[in-house]
Amino acid sequence: MGVAFRGVGCVRGLLGNVCLGTTSYFNAQFSCSKWARSMSLVPIVLDKTNHGERAYDIYSRLLKDRIICLMGPINDEIASLVIAQLLYLQSEDKKLPIHLYINSPGGVVTAGLAVYDTMQYIRPAVATWCVGQASSMGSLLLAAGAPGLRFALPHARIMIHQPSGSAHGQASDIKIHAEEILKMRKILNAIYATHTKQPIEQIEKWMDRDYFMTADEAVTAGIVDRVLKEAPSAKTEVHGQPHSIKKPSSC
C-alpha cells in the first residue's frame, strides 16, 4: 500500500477507497508525468571558468551554490534525486549549509520521510525555503529545516493535513492497511510537534482537516521562522545566514 498525504479535493472514507477525487492514483501519476515532461525544458546556462566557458543545466549550476530544488509532487524518484544531492553536498563540505527550495503539493509519505530522515542524518544544516506552496509532505519538509533557517516568501501557501491511502481486498487486509495509516498519522503528528514546538493536541486539531496558512500564519504556527520580503544584501551571508552555521545538536 502506498500511503499518501491527501491533496485538495480528496474525499475521506473509513474503509475501501480512503482517498478519492483529484488525488487518485491515476491523477497523481498523470500529474507526475506532466511535471516530468516540463522538466525536459530545463534552461542551459554558461559559467565562465579559468578554462573557458562551461555549460550547465540550471539545476546543476544551482547545486554548485548548495541549492536543491524540490519542485512538484514528492514520489520515490524525486525523493531519490533530492537524497542523492543532499549526500553529495555533505561530501563536498560538512560545515556549509544546504538550501532546499520547496514548491510542492505533497505526495507519498514514505518518499517524503526518506528525504526527512536524510535531512536529519547529514551533518550540514539544511535551510528550507517555501516558494509557491508547501502542502502535505512538502510542509513537513519545510518545518524540518534547521531552527532559524526555515523561510517562506510573502505569498507562499502552506497546508497540513492527515495522511490517507486506499485499500481493497479482504476485510482483514483492509483493517491492516487502515491500522498502518493510523500509525503513520501518529508518526507525522509527532514530527510536526517536534519541529513546530506546538502541543501534540494542537497538531492533531490542525491535521484533522486541510489546514491552510499564509506565510505569516506559518511563522505563528512554528512551521517557518521568517517571511522574507527581499533578498539579503550582506555579501558575508548566504541567503541571510552565515556561511559556517552549524546544525544544532538537537536535530
pLDDT values of the chain reduced to their tens digit, one per residue, 251 residues: 455 554 333 323 333 333 323 333 334 444 455 545 555 687 887 778 788 887 878 999 999 999 999 999 999 999 999 999 999 999 999 999 999 999 999 999 999 999 999 999 999 999 999 999 999 999 999 999 999 999 999 999 999 999 987 778 889 989 999 999 999 999 999 999 999 999 999 999 999 999 999 999 999 999 999 999 887 654 335 444 444 444 544 43
Q: Is residue 38 part of a domain?
A: yes
> Whole-model pTM above 0.85?
no
How many domains in the chain?
1
Phi, psi of 209 (to 5 degrees): -135, 170
Q: Is residue 248 part of a domain?
A: no
Half-sphere exposure of 118 (CA within 13 A, CB side): 20
Q: Is residue 251 part of a domain?
A: no
Q: Is residue 233 part of a domain?
A: yes
Q: Is residue 217 part of a domain?
A: yes
List, for residues 49-104, the tens digit of each pLDDT value. Answer: 788 887 878 999 999 999 999 999 999 999 999 999 999 999 999 999 999 999 99
Q: CA-to-CA distance for 130 and 101, rounded, in angstroms?
A: 6
Just list the catalytic residues. 136, 161
The answer to whether residues 171 and 148 touch, using CB atoms and an 8 Å cutoff, is no
Q: Is residue 81 part of a domain?
A: yes
CATH number (domain holding residue 156): 3.90.226.10
Q: Containing domain of residue 221, as a range?
A: 4-46+53-242
Give ∠ CA 132-2-29 in degrees, rounded to 5: 55
Q: CA-to-CA distance for 5 and 70, rounded, in angstroms?
A: 17
Q: Is residue 250 part of a domain?
A: no
Q: Is residue 75 part of a domain?
A: yes
| C-alpha cell belonging to residue 179 | 491500522
The answer to whether residues 60 and 88 touch, using CB atoms and an 8 Å cutoff, is no
